[in-house]
Structure 1
Amino acid sequence: MYRYDQYDHQIVKERVAQFRDQVRRRIADELTEEEFLPLRLQNGLYMQRHAYMLRIAVPYGLLASKQMRMFAHIARAYDRGYGHFTTRQNIQFNWIELEKTPDILEHLASVEMHAIQTSGNDVRNTTADEFCGVAPDELVDPRPYAELVRQWSTFHPEFAYLPRKFKIAFNAAAEDRAATAMHDIGITVVKNEQGELGFRVMVGGGLGRTPILGSVIREFLPWQHLLTYIEAVLRVYNQYGRRDNKYKARIKILVKAIGPEEFASKVEAEWADLADGPGTLTADEVARISTYFAPPSYAVLANEDALLQQQRSEHKGFDNWMKRNVKPHKVPGYAAVVLSLKKPGVPPGDATAEQMDFVADLADRYSFGELRVTHEQNLVLADVRQADLFTVWQEAKSHQLATPNIGLLTDIICCPGGDFCSLANAKSLPIAAAITERFENIDFQHDIGEIELNMSGCINACGHHHIGNIGILGVDKDGSEWYQISLGGAQGNESAIGKIIGPSFSAQQVPEVIGRLLQTYVTNRVDGERFIDTVRRVGVEPFKTHVYATPINIQQNAGEDAYA
């Protein structure tokens, strides 16, 4: 993984010292809150309902074990013993004291991490497929290019005060696991007819109050021009993006207003002055960065099919875990393991300090000292020997990290909502907990099959509810918390924005609403059909009809028995 060079160390060290003085001046009332606001935001510090929240960058979701141990230390020493992994592959700590923030940043710098540009109107943390470098369907490892973008965008003086925040994601696999269509720029690694490497560039995606999928503005961009072309996009956005209304300031609004073709034309005109300039990538520079992402020292192994089949036949729990939490690896004899942060009774994405230390130990013993954060709020050990899978399962289970629900109903993507966030209209964590409790039975979940359920506590859509097969949005109705349901959203190669099915529901009604949606699915599905496939085939109307056909009895709790 990438290691800081002398410039990284110096930049981060100076930023910590700078922010320490800014915090001192704020506490001494030498800075007003209005003056301090942009300073703290560009260092990842938010003010929430109860305390400050610090968001720490995890570039393209990649962590070393020592960095995870630092998170555990911060959780113990400066928070309440846990952290929250986010849909941006970052981590947040929700109970931070302002005067101690510089000390935390200094600790992070010691393990080559920071919180720079995890907020503010700038280029945010660059994200990527959590299986980069190990996925069998991957064209190349895109992490060197993501790292180049990270370096280029950090402290870029021209783009420190954009009209609004700006997010970039990379994908290099046949299946888009980075949700590129919902990003301001989504970059997909491709090859042209001559076999040359380049990028398909999509712009103008985003969720929030105006959900829009991105539009392709260039089918093939030679790899040398990655940074100059992104710079051209940002320049056009910086010049033409709205600044009079923050709700209409994202690049998606600009692209929609003038059209993708006109936006692409402006980018090409801007790029004409940048192409082949100082920002052009060279083979030597890409090769230099790529050395940081060289494959680990894999052993020559045979696939352990016979051993695994025996273990699976003897242990149903292990078999369920293998079905959902173990993913294919491009190297024979290895597998990628997803550690679920969605155990019933625990807020989605939360991990305790003890779990963080344990996962770091697992990474050291079984995965070359590295791990990944997914945008679905789980963790990944990317390089586990197949012969070690049973042991890893047993150990993960002992620390409540082996729930076999990846991609299933209770693998809920959920923001912290009104329990923490001052922007939220409604609480989201109790709703997620109630749904999980209602449908906790693993056998039932495996029978129902793949469903993406995403929930946000407000229209800002940090829980990505728009692209959930089932989306739940917390709304305010005359001072009360209500929940709007949408269907048909999806990420990946067939990304889609969900459709609202009708009037909103009370918190107590939501689990039964989900139950009725599942009943409709079971009634209408054909053999092997996923929930989203049924919704696409029959449409939203049958689901809507069943949900609103009779009043919802909030005492009903038939659970999985209703779907027999």
Structure 2
Amino acid sequence: MYVYQEHDQQLLNERVAQYRDQTRRYLAGELSEDEFLALRLQNGLYIQRYAPMLRIAVPYGLLSSRQLRRLAHISRTYDKGFAHVSTRQNVQMNWPALEDVPDILAELADVQMHAIQTSGNCIRNTTTDEYAGVNPKEIEDPRPWCEIIRQWSTFNPEFAYLPRKFKIAVNAVPDEDPAIIGVHDIGVQLVHNDAGETGFQVWAGGGLGRTPMTGAVIGEFVPWQHLLSYLESILRVYNKYGNRDNKYKARIKILVKALGADKYRELVEEEFAELKDGPMTLTEAEVARIQACFTDVEYRSDVDTSELDALLADNKAFNRWYHTNTRPHKQAGYRAVTLTLKKTGRVPGDISDEQLDAVADLADKYSFGEIRNSHQQNMVFSDVAASDLFALWQELDALGFATPNLGLLTDMVCCPGGDLCALANAKSIPVAESIQRRFDDMDYLHDLGKIDLNISGCMNACGHHHIGHIGILGVDKKGKEFYQVTLGGRGDRESKVGEKMGPSFESDEITDVIEKIIGLYVEKRLENEPFIDTYERIGMDPFKEHIYG
């Protein structure tokens, strides 16, 4: 993983000192609430329903065991003993005291972490596939390109005050979209041309929230040397023409739709003509320097897999976990392992301080001291020898992280909702728990197969409900919590926004509604047909009739 250079560390240390003084001035009454607002947002601090929330940056989801232990220490010392993995691969602390945040930022800086640009109208954390670098389907490792984008976008004064927040994702898998680039402000798809040269297909104008839509291809093939110049061109057009008077119309997706993709592309090309071959042009030496930070770990060539087949045959629970929670690796004899943070009765994406320490120990023992956060609010050990899988499974099971439901109905994405967030219209966590308990039969879950269920507590869509096969959105009706259901969303290569099923439901109805949706799917599906395929074959009407009569 990328190791900070001297100048990286200096920037972090200076920012901590700066924010410490800003907090002192605010608490002393020398800065007004409005003056302090922009300063705290620049450092990832929100004021939520009951307490501040600090969002900690985890670039492209990659953590070391040392960093994980520091997060455990911070959650134990300054919070209530747990952390939350977000859908942008970051980590959130939900109960820090405002006056403690400078100390927390200093603790983070000590292990090359920070909360810079995790909030505010700026370029946020660049994300990618949680299996990046070990995914046998990728054409090359996308993480160096993510790091190049991170360095370009961090503290970039031109984009410190955009019309609205801005999110970039990078994907390197040709026929899949694990990074969900289609619903990002900018999506970057690694491609190779006929000559084998690396370039990027660049999308713009995707996003969820109040007006969900998928992006459009703006650059069909951008040579790697001009990646930053092209991204800057897209952002300059947005900065110049984006709506700053109405935050609900301020995202780049509104601008791309209003102008049309062809006109937006024309404006980008005009900017690009001025920037191309300028100081942002990437060189082979600079790309090689960044790539050298992501070299392969020292894999064993003598991994003994002779006992694995017997263990799989003799132990049904291990077999199910192996086929559900592990996946192929580019290196023979290794697997990537997902730790599901979705055990029934626990808040999806939450992990305690003790568990963080335990996961760090296991990462050192089994996965070269590295951990990944996933978009689905899980964690990943990317490099586990096949001979260690059974022992690792046993240890994960004891921690509650071996639930074999990855990709299944109860592996749901869920925002904190009204239990914590001041923006939420309704609670998300109790809905998730109710559905978990209703569908706690693992045999039945596996019979149902892959179903993406996403829950958001408001239209900001932090739970990505729009792209769930089944989406649940909390809405407010005269002070009472209701839930709207969408069907047919996709967060894969097709990036499709779900369709609203009909009138919303009260909180005590929603789990029954989900059960009825699943029941109709079971009745109508063809042999081995996934939920999304059944929905796309029969359409919305049968579901409406079944639910509403």
Structure 2: which 5+ residue stretches go unaligned?
none
Aligned to 2:117: 117
Shift of 1:194: 1.6
- Give secondary structure in 1 for the equivalent of 2:307: helix
Shift of 1:73: 0.4
Distance 1:219 1:324 in 2: 36
Aligned to 1:245: 246
Task: Tell me the matched-pair count.
Answer: 548
Are 1:419 and 1:429, in contact at CA under 8 Å, matched by a contact in 2?
yes
Superposition RMSD in Å: 0.8
Q: Which residue identity lines up with residue 222 of structure 2 in the other structure? A: L
Shift of 1:301: 3.7
Shift of 1:307: 2.5
Shift of 1:302: 5.5
Give TM-score, length-normalised by structure 1: 0.96
Aligned to 2:236: 235
Shift of 1:303: 7.2
Shift of 1:324: 1.1
Distance 1:494 1:284 in 2: 36
Distance 2:327 2:78 in 1: 35
Shift of 1:299: 1.1
Are 1:303 and 1:334, in contact at CA under 8 Å, matched by a contact in 2?
no
Deviations 1:525-562 (A, max 9, x none): 1111100010011111111111112xxxxxxxxxxxxx
Deviations 1:173-232 (A, max 9, x none): 132100111100000100111211100100000000000101111111100011111110
Matches within 5 A, 1:135-154: 135-154=135-154
Are 1:408 and 1:452, in contact at CA under 8 Å, matched by a contact in 2?
yes
Aligned to 2:518: 518
Distance 1:303 1:169 in 2: 37
Matches within 5 A, 1:368-387: 368-387=368-387
Aligned to 2:425: 425
Aligned to 2:27: 27
Q: Which residue identity lines up with residue 239 of structure 1 in the other structure? A: K
Distance 1:494 1:307 in 2: 40
- Give secondary structure in 2 for the equivalent of 1:351: strand
Q: Does 1:448 align with 2:451?
A: no
Are 2:50 and 2:420, in contact at CA under 8 Å, matched by a contact in 1?
yes
Distance 1:233 1:359 in 2: 40
Q: Which residue identity lines up with residue 340 of structure 2 in the other structure? A: S
Shift of 1:316: 1.4
Deviations 1:118-161 (A, max 9, x none): 00000000101000000010100011110011011000010000
The runs of 4+ residues in structure 1 deviating greater than 4 Å are: none
Matches within 5 A, 1:349-368: 349-368=349-368
Distance 1:303 1:438 in 2: 41
Are 2:303 and 2:385, in contact at CA under 8 Å, matched by a contact in 1?
no
Aligned to 1:217: 218
Are 1:301 and 1:332, in contact at CA under 8 Å, matched by a contact in 2?
no
Aligned to 1:311: 311
Distance 2:58 2:299 in 1: 25
Deviations 1:480-499 (A, max 9, x none): 00000000001111221000
Are 1:453 and 1:470, in contact at CA under 8 Å, matched by a contact in 2?
yes
Q: Does 1:155 align with 2:169?
A: no
Give TM-score, length-normalised by structure 2: 0.99
Aligned to 1:325: 325
Deviations 1:398-457 (A, max 9, x none): 011111000000001000000000000000000000000000111110001000000000
Are 2:303 and 2:387, in contact at CA under 8 Å, matched by a contact in 1?
no
Aligned to 2:202: 201
Are 1:303 and 1:332, in contact at CA under 8 Å, matched by a contact in 2?
no
Aligned to 2:182: 181
Distance 1:308 1:453 in 2: 33
Matches within 5 A, 1:462-473: 462-473=462-473
- Give secondary structure in 1 for the equivalent of 2:191: strand
Aligned to 2:544: 544
Shift of 1:353: 0.5
Q: Which residue identity lines up with residue 190 of structure 1 in the other structure? A: V
Deviations 1:365-419 (A, max 9, x none): 1111111000100000000000100111000000111110000000010000000
Distance 2:493 2:381 in 1: 24
Are 1:425 and 1:457, in contact at CA under 8 Å, matched by a contact in 2?
yes
- Give secondary structure in 1 for the equivalent of 2:472: strand
